[in-house]
C-alpha cells in the first residue's frame, strides 16, 4: 500500500490544492460556496431520485414491492428541483433544521445534565448551554449562520488541503529516494 501512495504522491498535491482553493472561496466568497453546495445537493438529489424511480420500475416488473422506492424517488426529485429552483430558501431551510436540532438536543442534554449526578456534570450542562445558544443564534439570524457554517467548512478545507500537501511532499521525497524514483 505504501508503494502505491508513494508512486501517486501527485494525487495528494491535487487534493491539497483543490481543498485550499475551495477553502479560500468558502472564506472569501461564502455566498458562492453556499450556492454551489446547494446546487450540487440539488443535482445529487435529482440523480438519486431518478435512479430510485428506475429501481422501482425494475422491482415492479419483477413482481417485487416497489411503492416505497418510487415514493423515495419522487421525494428526491422534488427536493432536488426545489433546491435548484430556490437555492436561497434551501440554505435557510437547512440552517433552520440545524437550529431546531441544536435547540432540541441542547434542551435534552440540559435536562440530562440537571439530573446527572457525577463527575463531568458541569461539562454536560455547558455543552447543553452552548448547543442551545448556537441553535438560538441560528434561528434568529439564519443567513449569518449559513455564512459562519461556510467559513467553518472553508477553514476545514484549508487545514485539510495543507495536510494533503505536507503528506504529498513527504511521499514525493520517499518516491525520489526509492528505486522507483531513480528509474523515473
* pLDDT one-digit tens code per residue, 71-103: 999 999 999 999 999 998 888 888 888 899 999
Q: How far apart are CA 33 and CA 153, in angstroms?
A: 9
Please answer whether residues 77 and 100 qualify as being in contact, where contact means their C-beta atoms are separated by less than 8 angstroms.
Answer: no
Q: Judge whether residue 182 has pLDDT over 70.
A: no
Q: Which residues 6+ apart lie within 8 Å of 104 measured at CB? A: 135
- pTM for this structure? 0.62
Q: How far apart are CA 141 and CA 88, in angstroms?
A: 14
Q: Of 129 and 36, which is predicted with more confidence?
A: 129
Mean local confidence (pLDDT), 168-182: 81
User: Would you tell me how many other CB atoms lie within 10 Å of the CB of residue 74?
Assistant: 14
Q: Cα dihedral sign for 137, 138, 142, 144?
A: positive
pLDDT of residue 12: 87
Q: Which residues 6+ apart lie within 8 Å of 30 measured at CB? A: 146, 147, 150, 151, 154
Q: Of 177 and 127, which is predicted with more confidence?
A: 127
Amino acid at each position: 500500500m505504501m508503494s502505491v501512495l508513494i508512486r501517486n504522491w501527485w494525487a495528494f498535491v491535487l487534493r491539497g490544492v483543490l481543498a485550499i482553493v475551495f477553502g479560500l472561496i468558502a472564506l472569501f466568497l461564502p455566498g458562492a460556496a453556499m450556492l454551489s453546495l446547494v446546487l450540487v445537493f440539488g443535482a445529487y438529489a435529482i440523480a438519486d431520485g431518478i435512479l430510485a424511480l428506475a429501481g422501482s420500475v425494475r422491482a415492479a416488473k419483477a413482481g417485487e414491492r416497489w411503492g416505497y422506492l418510487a415514493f423515495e424517488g419522487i421525494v428526491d426529485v422534488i427536493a432536488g428541483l426545489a433546491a435548484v429552483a430556490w437555492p436561497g430558501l434551501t440554505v435557510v431551510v437547512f440552517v433552520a433544521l440545524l437550529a431546531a436540532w441544536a435547540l432540541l438536543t441542547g434542551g435534552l442534554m440540559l435536562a440530562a445534565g440537571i439530573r446527572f449526578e457525577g463527575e463531568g456534570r458541569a461539562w454536560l450542562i455547558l455543552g447543553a448551554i452552548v448547543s442551545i445558544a448556537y441553535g438560538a443564534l441560528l434561528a434568529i439570524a439564519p443567513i449569518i449562520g449559513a455564512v459562519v457554517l461556510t467559513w467553518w467548512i472553508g477553514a476545514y478545507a484549508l487545514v485539510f488541503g495543507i495536510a494533503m500537501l505536507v503528506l504529498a511532499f513527504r511521499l514525493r521525497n520517499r518516491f525520489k529516494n526509492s528505486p522507483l524514483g531513480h528509474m523515473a
